[in-house]
Amino acid sequence: MSNSTIESVLQEQRVFEPSPAFSQAAQIPSMAVYQKLYDEAAADPAAFWAKLAEQELDWFEKWDTVLDWQPPFAKWFVGGKINISYNCLDRHLTTARRNKAALIWEGEPGDSRTLTYAQLHREVCQMANVLKGMGVKKGDRVGLYMPMIPEAAVAMLACARIGAAHTVVFGGFSAEALRDRLNDAEAKVVITADGGFRKDKAMGLKPAVDAALDDNAVPSVTNVLVVQRTQQEIDWTTGRDVWWHEAQPTVSADCPAEPMDSEDLLFILYTSGTTGKPKGVVHTTAGYNLYTHMTFQWTFDIKETDVYWCTADVGWITGHSYIVYGPLSNGATSLMYEGAPRPSNPGCTWDIVEKHGVNIFYTAPTAIRAFMKMGDELPKARDLSSLRLLGTVGEPINPKAWMWYREIIGGNNCPIVDTWWQTETGGFMLTPLPGATPTKPGSATKPFPGILADVVDAEGNPVGTNEGGYLVIKHPWPSMMRTVYGDDDRFRRTYWEHIPPKDGKYLYFAGDGARKDADGYFWVMGRTDDVLNVSGHRLGTMEIESALVSHPSVAEAAVVGRKDELKGEDVYAFVTLEGTYTASDELKAELKQHVVKEIGAIARPGEIQFTDALPKTRSGKIIRRFLRNLASGEEVVGDATTMEDQSVLEKLRQGN
């Protein structure tokens, strides 16, 4: 991490204590209580988690072994039988929560719907029975390609109910990206919608599913279940495609939850890595249920009457863990919004907070920066006094945005929980507990109880106070990813061998750099690998390079991140062309569109620079460091003597 970044982080020195009123009412009311939990968990993690598993979840059968750790493979609650759909639904039906709102949904053109726990349970059972009717069995995989509508949550819970693993593909991904993921998972059924609304526009989803499945390109898929949302004209494949609204009335609303082994596959979620092919991150049932349950409960200090709103999309891990599973397992009310702040109504986010009296609001720094840019008048014109807790996730938050969030949205009265975690970790790893932890703007503060985190050097030795290093986790936790789907070897290489294991001790390396200050607070600095963070979305530079090179005009491509005020990082691509092609603005536009087609709009390069050659070492490795400097208009720093051809740099500087 560059010195300038560290300095900008260090500028804000203030510490914010939770108010006495907040602490008094909180589940974890003080640092003393946090420390006690932390110490207890650190001394005997298995005992700590076992106690909570017993107290907090319903089991069909208790486990024999809490943790079976054969590094780097962990199994939690071995021998136990459990179902997360049961824990999210059935067990609430015999309590006062039966008629409580489970999901409040705000649709983009002003539609609105509330599903109580009883109603959600009914829909989930029906969809589970429709899936069974299509031949979906325990152990099968089901692909989801959905807009942000209640049926997305219904579909996830329906899969979990019958023991089928879901793999949700973000609706913004292209047909090509969808096809690759469905094939890797060998999905049997795809659940989608005709389309979804986003920023006043209806966008198609079913057409992308059709394109992905064209010419039998995904031979494992036998059926497509389609939810009607936009009523767009869509193509129909008889025998394969089924309307949800036609199937729903034909099935029973009774579908007992399948008892699952603790370690049965719950879902696969694909995420970007250093190499080209996205990784299928594998999460299993019991440990994921427990960990998302506990982190949701303590970090959001959830109260029975709270309305909680997480603005993520269910296509990302944040949507899985903290729109669906964590909140519902706790019997909370989770608000789901279909769209994004839209041109015709830039204040809609705050309208929704006011309309539903939202108490807990969880969003990303990129959104906070966008809200900031829209001006203070929009939030100030609404009554936001229902808010009592704010959260952020996805990338390091700059102290300026943190302060704005606190003052303008939180009225100086709401703690902010800056939660650091990943698709791979399943749930929060570093986070304040809002009634206990004094917060520092820009720091994700301290590990959740049961998480042993540290900052180490390349050999795995702890670094000194305020020294930069690799952020690692030293002990397995219940919701850690179990493997890369179908590729144990890649799992081991990617996460556990980057820092070589010593004396049988394995360190989980997350891919982020960090430092720890004198108070033991962690400051996450961002990725140390070739992964970009664009608006809180992870993109591998290799993925985008592969997409570019698949265009006939491109000989070679190198993608780097360029600092962007709103998005955090933007995609900047250097491209060399095949001999018969010449650089032009039309070709630039075509290449950008090509990336959108191959991956999706989130990966569209902000800038493409054509060049005759890329800077390389004598052994042929692209020197990305130089390219990063060039992309952000900085002086090219560092040693250039390893370069094969010095003139390349000079040419690049001059823009060609």
Residues sharing a CB contact under 8 Å with residue 327, sequence separation 6 or more, in sequence order? 296, 302, 308, 310, 333, 334
The reply on whether position 423 binds ligand 7RM by CB under 6 A is yes
CA-based nearest residue to 301, from 407, 414, 209: 414
Under rule CB under 6 A, how many of the chain's residues touch ligand 7RM?
Answer: 23
Nearer to ligand 7RM, 241 or 569 (CB): 569
Minimum Å gap between C-beta 317 and ligand 7RM is: 5
Please name the helix (run of DSSP H) or strand (run of DSSP E) that holds residue 632, with its range, or none: none
x/- letters, 349..388, toward ligand 7RM (CB under 6 A) = ----------------------------------------
Nearer to ligand 7RM, 184 or 395 (CB): 395
Minimum Å gap between C-beta 433 and ligand 7RM is: 15
Please name the helix (run of DSSP H) or strand (run of DSSP E) that holds residue 626, with its range, or none: helix 624-631
Nearer to ligand 7RM, 68 or 487 (CB): 487
The reply on whether position 208 binds ligand 7RM by CB under 6 A is no
Nearer to ligand 7RM, 258 or 512 (CB): 512
Minimum Å gap between C-beta 441 and ligand 7RM is: 12
Give first-to-last CA distance, the chain, whole Å. 28
d(CA 368, CA 365): 5
Site for ligand 7RM in 520-549 (CB under 6 A): 524, 526-527, 533, 538
Minimum Å gap between C-beta 355 and ligand 7RM is: 27
Nearer to ligand 7RM, 509 or 610 (CB): 509
The answer to whether residues 509 and 523 touch, using CB atoms and an 8 Å cutoff, is no
Options 151, 418, 454, 543; binder of ligand 7RM; rule CB under 6 A? 418
The reply on whether position 444 binds ligand 7RM by CB under 6 A is yes
Strand duo 265-271 + 260-261: pairing: unpaired
Residue 30 exposure: Cα atoms within 13 Å on the Cβ side: 5
Residues sharing a CB contact under 8 Å with residue 35, sequence separation 6 or more, in sequence order? none
Minimum Å gap between C-beta 216 and ligand 7RM is: 32
Q: What's the sign of the alpha-carbon dihedral 79, 85, 87, 92?
A: negative
From the list 18-26, 315-323, 382-390, 489-497, the region that binds ligand 7RM by CB under 6 A is: 315-323
Position of minimal CB gap to ligand 7RM: 423
Amino acid at 56: E
Options 339, 396, 410, 561; binder of ligand 7RM; rule CB under 6 A? 396
Residues sharing a CB contact under 8 Å with residue 503, sequence separation 6 or more, in sequence order? none
Nearer to ligand 7RM, 417 or 559 (CB): 417
Strand duo 416-418 + 389-392: pairing: parallel
d(CA 394, CA 416): 14
Angle at CA 161, nearest 5°, toward 158 and 167?
60
Residues in the chain: 656
Nearer to ligand 7RM, 29 or 278 (CB): 278
Minimum Å gap between C-beta 310 and ligand 7RM is: 11
d(CA 380, CA 408): 7
Minimum Å gap between C-beta 169 and ligand 7RM is: 14
The reply on whether position 569 binds ligand 7RM by CB under 6 A is no
Options 19, 422, 546, 632; binder of ligand 7RM; rule CB under 6 A? 422
Token pair belonging to 610:
């054509």
Rg (CA), the chain: 24
Q: What's the sign of the alpha-carbon dihedral 597, 603, 606, 610?
A: negative
The answer to whether residues 267 and 140 touch, using CB atoms and an 8 Å cutoff, is no
Minimum Å gap between C-beta 331 and ligand 7RM is: 23
Minimum Å gap between C-beta 526 and ligand 7RM is: 6
From the list 282-290, 310-318, 495-503, 576-584, the region that binds ligand 7RM by CB under 6 A is: 310-318
Token pair belonging to 134:
């299509």
Nearer to ligand 7RM, 83 or 271 (CB): 271
Nearer to ligand 7RM, 258 or 569 (CB): 569
x/- letters, 479..518, toward ligand 7RM (CB under 6 A) = -------------------------------xxx------
Q: Which residue has the tokens 């709401």?
A: 414
Nearer to ligand 7RM, 318 or 330 (CB): 318
x/- letters, 27..66, toward ligand 7RM (CB under 6 A) = ----------------------------------------
Options 317, 324, 332, 559; binder of ligand 7RM; rule CB under 6 A? 317
The reply on whether position 394 binds ligand 7RM by CB under 6 A is yes
Minimum Å gap between C-beta 419 and ligand 7RM is: 5
Site for ligand 7RM in 611-630 (CB under 6 A): none
The reply on whether position 331 binds ligand 7RM by CB under 6 A is no
Minimum Å gap between C-beta 424 and ligand 7RM is: 7
CA-based nearest residue to 307, from 235, 351, 355: 355
The reply on whether position 271 binds ligand 7RM by CB under 6 A is yes
Cα separations (Å) of 17 from 417, 439, 519?
A: 12, 6, 14
Nearer to ligand 7RM, 449 or 568 (CB): 568
Nearer to ligand 7RM, 331 or 526 (CB): 526
Residues sharing a CB contact under 8 Å with residue 76, sequence separation 6 or more, in sequence order? 49, 66, 67, 68, 262, 263, 284, 286, 287, 290, 476, 478
Please name the helix (run of DSSP H) or strand (run of DSSP E) that holds residue 646, with its range, or none: helix 646-653
Cα separations (Å) of 546 from 528, 540, 549?
A: 21, 10, 5
Nearer to ligand 7RM, 105 or 316 (CB): 316
Q: What's the sign of the alpha-carbon dihedral 116, 121, 126, 130?
A: positive
Amino acid at 211: A
The answer to whether residues 496 and 506 touch, using CB atoms and an 8 Å cutoff, is yes
d(CA 502, CA 11): 37
Residues sharing a CB contact under 8 Å with residue 216, sequence separation 6 or more, in sequence order? none
Interacting residue ranges for ligand 7RM, rule: CB under 6 A: 271, 316-318, 393-396, 418-423, 444, 510-512, 524, 526-527, 533, 538
